[in-house]
C-alpha cells in the first residue's frame, strides 16, 4: 500500500509542483487486470473501478488507507511482534484485494497506484508502462543479469534444491515473460516518441504472450533439462539430482496431493511430539512450515500459473515499428529464442548473480 499506491500518489504530488514538467512515466504491471480471460486491452483504470467478481462495487482508496492504519494501530496497541504484524497485514491485504476482484495484494495496490495518477496536470503526458513477468537481461548491460530471485525464479531454485517435487498450474497456460533490458528500452523509446506529441494518457503492455508465447509445460521441461545437465550443489558441495516432476493441473488436485502425501506425516509427528514430551518439536515445526510455505507459494503464483489471458500490445507494437532493425533500443519479443535464452542466459544468470 505504501509503495505501490501511496508512493505513486506522492510522486504525482511532487510532479504537480514542477512548473516545467512535460511527461510522467509510471511503471505498473500488466497483471493489474487480475485473472482476465482472452485478449486483455491496453486501457486505463477509472478512479474507483473494480474487477469482475468483486463483492464491493466501488474501490474507495481513502477507506483502504484508513483500514490499514487502524489495523496497524490495533496491532501496536497489543504489542504484537514484527512476525505477527507481517502475518496479519499480509492476510488483510489478500482479503481486501479479493473483495474488490483482484487475486493478490500486489496487483490490487498497483491498480490503486494507476488510479491515483488521475490528478496530474492536464498538459502533462502520462505514460503507464505495464510489464509482464520481468526476467534477467537479454543483452544489456550484459546477458543474464538479475538483481535477485523473483517470481518464477523461486520455483526454479526450489526445484533445483530438491525442495519442490511437483509443479502446480495449467500446462497449456501462457507464461508471459520479458527481459528487464527490454522493459527499460520500451520506456526510453516511449519517452522519445512522445516528447513533442499532444498531452494524453497512454498504456503500454510490455510482454511476449501476443507475439512469442511460451507454455508453462515448456518452461517446466526447460528447467528439468537445465538442472539435469547443471545441477545445483548442496551444502556439502554435492550435486542435487532432480526428478522429472509432474504437474498438478488444478488447485483442487494440489490441495488433494498435499492432504494425501504430507498432512498424515505431519499429524504423525505432532502425535509423537506430544507423547515424547516435545522431543520432535523442531522437526514438526519445520515440516509444518515447509508445507505452509508450499501452499502460500501456490496461492501467490496461482494468477500467473493458471492465467488464461493474452496481453494486447497494439500500442506497444507502434513503438516497436519506430525502432525495428535497430539493436540499440530493441524490445521486440519475437527475436527471443526461448530455449536458447533460458538454457544459456536466464538460468545461468540466476545461479551467477542471484545465488552468489
Only one residue has cell 514438526, namely 284
Catalytic residue selected from 106, 159, 216, 301: 106
CA 185/CA 290 separation, integer angstroms = 39
Name, in order, each residue with C-beta under 8 angstroms of 274's C-beta and a sequence gap of 6 or more.
none
What are residue 177's DSSP bridge partners?
Answer: 133
Rounded-to-integer distance, Cα 39 and Cα 33, Å: 11
160 burial (CB, 10 Å; 0-12 / 13-18 / 19+) is buried
Query: Please, what is the angle between helix 251-261 and helix 263-275, to 10°?
Result: 30
Distance of CA 157 to the CA centre of its chain: 16
The residue among 313, 304, 319 whose CA lies nearest residue 104 is: 304
Does the annotation count 110 as an active-site position? yes
106 counts as catalytic: yes
> Active-site residue among 31, 43, 58, 110?
110
Distances (CA, A) of 193 to 102, 129, 130, 189: 33, 14, 17, 6
As annotated, the active-site residues are 106, 110
Amino acid at each position: 500500500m505504501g509503495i505501490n499506491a501511496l508512493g505513486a500518489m506522492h510522486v504525482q504530488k511532487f510532479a504537480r509542483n514542477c512548473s516545467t514538467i512535460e511527461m510522467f512515466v509510471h511503471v505498473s504491471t500488466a497483471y493489474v487486470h487480475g485473472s482476465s480471460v482472452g485478449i486483455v486491452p491496453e486501457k486505463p483504470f477509472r478512479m474507483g473501478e473494480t474487477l469482475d467478481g468483486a463483492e464491493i462495487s466501488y474501490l474507495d482508496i481513502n477507506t483502504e488507507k484508513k483500514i490499514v492504519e487502524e489495523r496497524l494501530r490495533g496491532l501496536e496497541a497489543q504489542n504484537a511482534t514484527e512476525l505477527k504484524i507481517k502475518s496479519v497485514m499480509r492476510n488483510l491485504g489478500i482479503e481486501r484485494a479479493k473483495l474488490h476482484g483482484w487475486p493478490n495484494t500486489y496487483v490490487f495496490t498497483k491498480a490503486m497506484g494507476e488510479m491515483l495518477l488521475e490528478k496530474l496536470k492536464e498538459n502533462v503526458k502520462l505514460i503507464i508502462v505495464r510489464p509482464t513477468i520481468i526476467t534477467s537481461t537479454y543483452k544489456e548491460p550484459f546477458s543474464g543479469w538479475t538483481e535477485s530471485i523473483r517470481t518464477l525464479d523461486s520455483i526454479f531454485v526450489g526445484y533445483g534444491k530438491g525442495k519442490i517435487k511437483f509443479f502446480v498450474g495449467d500446462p497449456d497456460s501462457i507464461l508471459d515473460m520479458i527481459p528487464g533490458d527490454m522493459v527499460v528500452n520500451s520506456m526510453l523509446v516511449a519517452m522519445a516518441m512522445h516528447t513533442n506529441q499532444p498531452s494524453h494518457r497512454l498504456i503500454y503492455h510490455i510482454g511476449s504472450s501476443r507475439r512469442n508465447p511460451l507454455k508453462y509445460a515448456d518452461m517446466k521441461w526447460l528447467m528439468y533439462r537445465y538442472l539435469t545437465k547443471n545441477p545445483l550443489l548442496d551444502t556439502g558441495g554435492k550435486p542435487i539430482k532432480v526428478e522429472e516432476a509432474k504437474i498438478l493441473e488444478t488447485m483442487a488436485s494440489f490441495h488433494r496431493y498435499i492432504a494425501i502425501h504430507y498432512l498424515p506425516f505431519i499429524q504423525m509427528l505432532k502425535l509423537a511430539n506430544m507423547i515424547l514430551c516435545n522431543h520432535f518439536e523442531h522437526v514438526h515445526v519445520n515440516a509444518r512450515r515447509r508445507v505452509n510455505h508450499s501452499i502460500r507459494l501456490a496461492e501467490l503464483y496461482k494468477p500467473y500459473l493458471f492465467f488464461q489471458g493474452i496481453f494486447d500490445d497494439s500500442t506497444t507494437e507502434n513503438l516497436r515499428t519506430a525502432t525495428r532493425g535497430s539493436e540499440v533500443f530493441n524490445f521486440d519479443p519475437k527475436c527471443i529464442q526461448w530455449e536458447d535464452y533460458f538454457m544459456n542466459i536466464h538460468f545461468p544468470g540466476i545461479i551467477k548473480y542471484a545465488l552468489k
